[in-house]
Amino acid sequence: MFACLKSMLNCKHFGNCGGCSLLNLPYEKQVAKKQAKLQETLKDFWQQEIPVTVTEDPVYFRNKVELGFCHQVKWRENYDKKDPANKTRPLEFEQTLGFKLKGRWDRAVDLEECLLFNEKLVPLVSAIRTWAANENLPYYDQRKHTGILRHLMVREGKNTGEEIVVLFVTDDFNEKTFIAAVESVLPQANIMAAVNNGLADTAEPESLRVLKGKDHIFEKIILTNEQGQTERTVIFKLSPQSFFQTNTKTAQKMYSRVRRVVKQLAPKRIYDLYGGAGSFSLSCADLCEKSICVESVAPAIYNGIENAKLNDVTTVQFFCSRVEDFVREQPIERKDALIILDPPRGGMHPRAAKAVAQSGVENVLYISCNPVTLANDLKILTQYYEILHVEAFDFFPHSEHIETFVQLKLK
C-alpha cells in the first residue's frame, strides 16, 4: 500500500506555510505518527490496534483551498532586534497571496509551490498576482483593515472536474480583466465575486455574485462494496459556502465503510446528527425507510434539500436545529433506529452526548475529526454503550489531523 509513499515530498514553503506541518516526513511515517497519537488519545477506551485507511495518492488530493491576500511588513532576514539603526530604518511592506504562515493570522506565504490542490493552483495564483499588480489593487492589511483583495477560494469536483473560483473583496474591481486572468489558466471555471467588509478574517461573504458560469459546482461520491464495486453514486451541489469533506477520494472510502455497517445493521430509521448537507443520509437512503438529518447551519440544510431532490431521495427529513436543542424537543425514542454522529472539531454539547447516551437506541456510529473531543464524548457515551470497532481515515495528509470512526452498541 505504501510502495509509492516511502519517499519524502518537498515544498520550498515547508516550515513557514501553515498549509502543511508534516511534509518533512515520508507519508508512511506521517500516518504511523498520527496512528500512534490516536491510539494514545483513545487508550482508556480502546486498546486494539486502530487500522488507518490512507490517502492513496497524497498529492493534489484537496478539493478546496482558501488563500489569503496579505499586505504585510516585509520579513528581514537576520533581523537584529538590538541594532539601534532599526529605529530610524523605514518599514518596508510586501503583498503576498497564499496560505497563512504557521501560527500567524496576519501574514501569508507568497505561494510559488503547493502539493495540496492541483497542478493549476500555482499558475492561477501567479496569473492573479500579475492581474492585481496591473490593476494596482491593494491586498488586505489585517491590522489596519484597509485594501481591496481579501481571499481567493478555489474548489474542484475531483470526480466531476468542475471548478469554481471565488474572489473575496471589499470593493469594486475590474471584472472583465479578472475573468481573463482566471481563464488564462482555467478556461472552463465558474467565477464569482464575494464582498466581505467584516473585521473577521474568514471567507464569509456578505454578498455573492456570478461573474461567469454558475454559482455552484457538482461533486460525486462513489460508494463501493467490499470488492470495490460501485453500489451507489450520490451527487452533491456545492456552492462556495457548502461544507464538504476536503478529500473526496478518501472521504468516499469512509462513506462506503459507514454504508457497509448500516447495511449490516439494517435500521428502519437513521438519525444523522450534525448532518451538514445530508452526506450520510443520502449515502444510505436506499438502506432505511427514513432519515432525520439535524444540522444547525441553514444554508447547509438548503443544500441538503436540493441534494435530496437531485438524487431522487424523498425519505430524508431535514431539521435546522442545534443537536442539543433537537434532542430536548424531540427525544430519540425509536429503538430500531441508528444514530450517526459527526460533530465539528469542538465535539458534542454535553447535553447532546447525554441524550444520545440515554436514548436506548441499539447502535451508534461516531465519526470524528478530533480525537481529543471524541475521547471526551466517549466518557459519556461509554457509560451506556460498548465500543465494537475503531478505525481511522487519513483525510488530511501532511497535517496532524485524522478522521476516526467508532462503532458503539448498547450495553
Ligand X SMILES: C[S@@+](CC[C@H](N)C(=O)[O-])C[C@H]1O[C@@H](n2cnc3c(N)ncnc32)[C@H](O)[C@@H]1O
Residues assigned a catalytic role: 369, 403
Q: Tell me how far apart the alpha carbons of residues 102 and 100 are, in angstroms, rounded to a whole number.
A: 6
Does 247 interact with ligand X (rule: CB under 6 A)?
Answer: no
Indicate whether 27 belongs to the interface with ligand X (CB under 6 A). no
Per CB under 6 A, does 280 bind ligand X? yes
Candidate ranges 25-33, 108-116, 121-129, 269-277; the one touching ligand X (CB under 6 A): 269-277
Nearest to residue 356, comparing CAs of 282, 271, 281? 271
Residues 287-316 that bind ligand X (CB under 6 A): 294-297, 300
Cell digits of residue 34: 498520527
Closest distance of CB 203 from ligand X, Å = 15
Q: Is 371 in the site for ligand X (CB under 6 A)?
A: no
CB of 165 to ligand X, least distance (A): 22
Q: Applying CB under 6 A, does 243 fall inside the site for ligand X?
A: yes
Q: Which is nearer to ligand X, 68 or 343 (CB)?
A: 343
CB-closest chain residue to ligand X: 276
If you count DSSP H runs as helices and E runs as strands, how many of each does the chain have, helices first?
9, 16
The grid coordinates listed for 242 are 457548502
CB nearer to ligand X: give 185 or 297. Answer: 297
Under the binding rule (CB under 6 A), the answer on residue 235 touching ligand X is: no
The window from 74-82, 125-133, 275-283, 375-383 that contacts ligand X (CB under 6 A) reads: 275-283
Q: Does residue 342 belong to the site contacting ligand X (CB under 6 A)?
A: yes
* CB-based contacts of 198, cutoff 8 Å, min separation 6: 204, 206
Contact between 322 and ligand X (CB under 6 A)?
yes
Map residue 104 onto helix, strand or coil.
coil
Cα separations in angstroms, 29 against 14, 43, 99, 357, 367? 17, 21, 24, 36, 24
Rounded CA separation 270/290 (Å): 6
Closest residue by Cα to residue 392 from 58, 39, 4, 47 = 39
The residues binding ligand X (CB under 6 A) are 243, 245, 274-276, 279-280, 294-297, 300, 322-324, 342-344, 349, 369
